């Protein structure tokens, strides 16, 4: 019966995969041992914890590498146990595994120079080298001992593999054999998919490099958690940070002004609460559409509309990306994401100047709140990189009776939880809340289904629900001593479903709200603004409002100060095309050539105004677009995200 059910084959498969974990553990310890001075790991127990966290990344890497090996091992071929077949399988196993395993040993040495796990970007740099043979010879001679260690590990791996052999078995009952194989195949396939993703939870996206930082407090320790094959796999086809040189530095400093300095002096340091609303595009807000003249328009945000009457709102604002994690880097650090998320790039680990670092330097308490499973969306990992002192997720909420069953804690419960947590914190504080209930599959708590009927879009009723949750939050916050000296910033991470044709237009697929509110009239946060604004303007605006008077890095502008040398601009990406808005025009740029210039009011990009001889404003707009992208890439790639 054991041969019919193939139990011996599955046991041997598990053993062979276990060998991968064993030798990845050895490689991780060696990586640490050769680079101990670069990591603040103060005990063996701390190192073992990092190795434990690394198993999730090892799982993904090993399953990627061994996918064909696993497939051939579980398919009902009836010849699986024959010596010739097993010999071929051994060749496949070691060719794929040892090639990938070798990259860990490359990083044992290379890490001291790069201080980042090698990724596809490293391969790109190597591809551009003309003296590859010389470099290989030099490193082989200089670090011969690492090659010897790798060979010893490989020999041990092969020896251990051969210690457990699969005995030939004859299939006598093909019906049982094939039926059991199909069931086992489906089960193993499910486990492989879950292992590659990192878990089976609906609320988390596939495990990525940034997730290595959610368990650690010292960013560099994330490189111990990672392994090099994982870093390479996860960045294949994702690194578009290519250095360019279209303009000189003087042009960038004059026209883009990436280093800014303000001189505001508030009477007291205000608390700051930044609320990023999941998917709550500008289309759903009545206050953001009062002058748009959309026939039959209906608002789904009665509370936010009311709050807007006492706030400074921007009705011509745009997101810089299409994903939630794009918004966090843009809103908090002023770093937009274009073809790929900055947070998923190999450059996310570096020191980053942001709202968090600025507030930290001024003595603020800093916290990030997200009601999903800790680590969801990569927020906890990136938050750790930015330097948030506290992270509050579903774990800290610690009451799953308020769990929505898919994403996390319902907004109506998690928002007051944040308010109570802030009451316990020392002022001044800066807190970021990322909401979650207005997310696919767009469900409501049972008690609200009759109350919030929504509209033609599935998301409409969830927008109503989250708007009401904000009402509950503000009603509670008003009773707290910190409320009167708090500045609230509200925006959306990205757009979502559209109903009105106006918001189906290409430019408006990025249309989000931006609102600033404070009960303290001294901050003068009232009015309606129609000038261009962007998520990456929020960071410099907060810096201006809290009175940070030192130089800082930002591609945005303060929305509350008249800085004549800061021209409103918006940049985002539709995929492989940059979309740049400035002055009277919108520009489309593919990274090499401009493919279109449109009137800024032409949100559908219907009439291309590009000619062989563009006017002076168009020429400057194209130059400014290139200058911004050039400086953006240079600062990210060369680690200049902090003002020097």
Residues 6+ apart with CB under 8 A from 262: 540, 543, 544, 548, 549, 558, 561
- How many secondary structure helices (H) and strands (E) does the chain include? 21, 15
Q: What are phi and psi of 316, to 5 degrees?
A: -135, 50
- 493 labeled part of a ligand binding site: yes
DSSP annotation string for 348-374: TTS---SHHHHHHHTT-EEEEEE-BST
Is 58 part of any known ligand binding site? no
Q: Give the Cα-Cα-Cα angle 116, 121, 123 (nearest 5 degrees).
A: 105
Is 390 annotated to bind ligand?
no
* Cα–Cα dist 374/391, whole Å: 9
Residues 6+ apart with CB under 8 A from 627: 246, 247, 251, 252, 255, 256
> If you count them, how many residues does the chain have?
644
CA distances from 231 to 36, 41, 63, 97, 343 (A): 20, 21, 14, 15, 13
Distances in Å between the Cα of 376 and the Cα atoms of 1, 58, 197, 380, 492 are: 44, 19, 12, 7, 18
Whether 439 has a binding-site annotation, put simply, is: yes
Backbone angles phi and psi of 517, in degrees to 5: -135, 140
Nearest one of 383, 3, 8 to 216, comparing CA atoms = 383
What are the catalytic residues? 324
Contact of 506 with 275, CB cutoff 8 Å: no
How far is Cα 474 from Cα 496, in angstroms, rounded to an integer? 25
Residue written as token pair 């209906």: 298
Residue ranges for the known binding site for substrate are 439
What residues are designated binding site? Answer: 278, 439, 493-494
- Residue numbers in the known binding site for Mn(2+) are 278, 493-494
């Amino acid at each position: 019966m054991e041969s019919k059910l193939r139990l011996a084959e599955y046991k041997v498969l598990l053993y062979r995969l276990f060998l991968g974990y064993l030798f990845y553990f050895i490689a991780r310890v060696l990586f640490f041992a050769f680079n101990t001075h670069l990591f603040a790991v103060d005990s063996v127990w701390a190192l073992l914890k990092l190795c434990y966290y690394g198993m999730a990344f090892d799982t993904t890497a090993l399953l990627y590498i061994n996918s064909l090996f696993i497939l051939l091992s579980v398919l009902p071929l009836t010849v699986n146990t024959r010596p010739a077949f097993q010999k071929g399988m051994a060749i496949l196993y070691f060719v794929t595994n040892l090639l990938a395993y070798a990259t860990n040993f490359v990083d044992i040495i290379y890490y001291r120079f790069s201080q980042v796990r090698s990724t596809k970007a490293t391969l790109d740099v190597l591809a551009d080298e003309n003296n590859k043979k010389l470099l290989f010879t030099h490193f082989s001679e200089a670090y011969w001992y690492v090659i010897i260690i790798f060979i010893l590990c490989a020999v041990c791996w092969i020896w251990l593999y051969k210690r457990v052999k699969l005995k030939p078995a004859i299939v006598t009952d093909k019906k049982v054999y094939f039926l059991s194989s199909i069931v086992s195949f489906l089960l193993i396939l499910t486990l492989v998919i879950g292992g590659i993703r990192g878990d089976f939870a609906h609320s988390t996206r596939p495990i990525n490099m940034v997730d290595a930082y959610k368990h650690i407090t010292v960013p560099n320790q994330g490189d111990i958690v990672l392994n090099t094959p994982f870093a390479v796999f996860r960045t294949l086809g994702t690194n578009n940070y290519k250095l360019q040189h279209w303009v000189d530095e003087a042009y960038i400093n004059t026209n883009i002004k990436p280093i800014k300095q303000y001189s505001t002096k508030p009477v007291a340091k205000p608390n700051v609460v930044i609320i990023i609303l999941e998917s709550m595009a500008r289309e759903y807000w009545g206050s953001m559409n009062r002058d748009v003249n959309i026939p039959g328009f209906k608002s789904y945000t009665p509370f936010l509309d009311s709050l807007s009457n006492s706030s400074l709102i921007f009705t011509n604002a745009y997101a810089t990306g299409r994903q939630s994690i794009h918004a966090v880097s843009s809103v908090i650090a002023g770093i937009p994401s274009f073809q790929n998320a900055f947070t998923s790039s190999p450059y996310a680990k570096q020191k980053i100047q942001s709202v968090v670092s600025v507030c930290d330097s001024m003595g603020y308490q800093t916290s990030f709140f997200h009601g999903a499973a800790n680590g969801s969306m990569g927020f906890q990992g990136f938050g750790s990189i930015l330097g948030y002192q506290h992270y509050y997720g579903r774990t800290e909420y610690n009451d799953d009776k308020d769990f929505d069953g898919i994403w996390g804690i319902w907004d109506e419960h998690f928002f007051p939880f944040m308010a109570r947590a802030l009451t316990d914190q020392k002022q001044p504080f800066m807190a970021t809340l990322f909401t979650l209930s207005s997310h696919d599959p767009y469900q409501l708590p049972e008690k609200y289904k009759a109350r919030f009927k929504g509209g033609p879009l599935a998301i409409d009723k969830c927008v109503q629900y989250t708007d009401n949750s904000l009402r509950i939050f503000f009603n509670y916050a008003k009773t707290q001593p910190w409320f009167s000296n708090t500045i609230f910033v509200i925006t959306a991470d990205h757009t979502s479903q559209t109903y009105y044709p106006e918001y189906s237009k290409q430019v408006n697929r990025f249309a989000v709200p931006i609102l600033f509110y404070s009960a303290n009239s001294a901050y003068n946060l009232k009015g309606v603004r129609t000038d261009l604004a962007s998520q990456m303007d929020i960071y410099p605006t907060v810096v201006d409002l809290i009175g940070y008077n030192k130089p800082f890095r930002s591609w945005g502008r303060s929305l509350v100060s008249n800085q004549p040398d800061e021209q409103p601009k918006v940049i985002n990406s539709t995929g492989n095309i940059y979309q740049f808005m400035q002055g009277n025009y919108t520009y489309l740029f593919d990274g090499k050539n401009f493919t279109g210039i449109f009137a800024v009011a032409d949100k559908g990009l219907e009439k291309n105004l590009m000619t062989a001889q563009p006017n002076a404003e168009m020429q400057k707009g194209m130059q400014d677009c290139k200058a911004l992208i050039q400086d953006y890439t240079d600062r990210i790639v060369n680690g200049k995200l902090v003002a020097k």
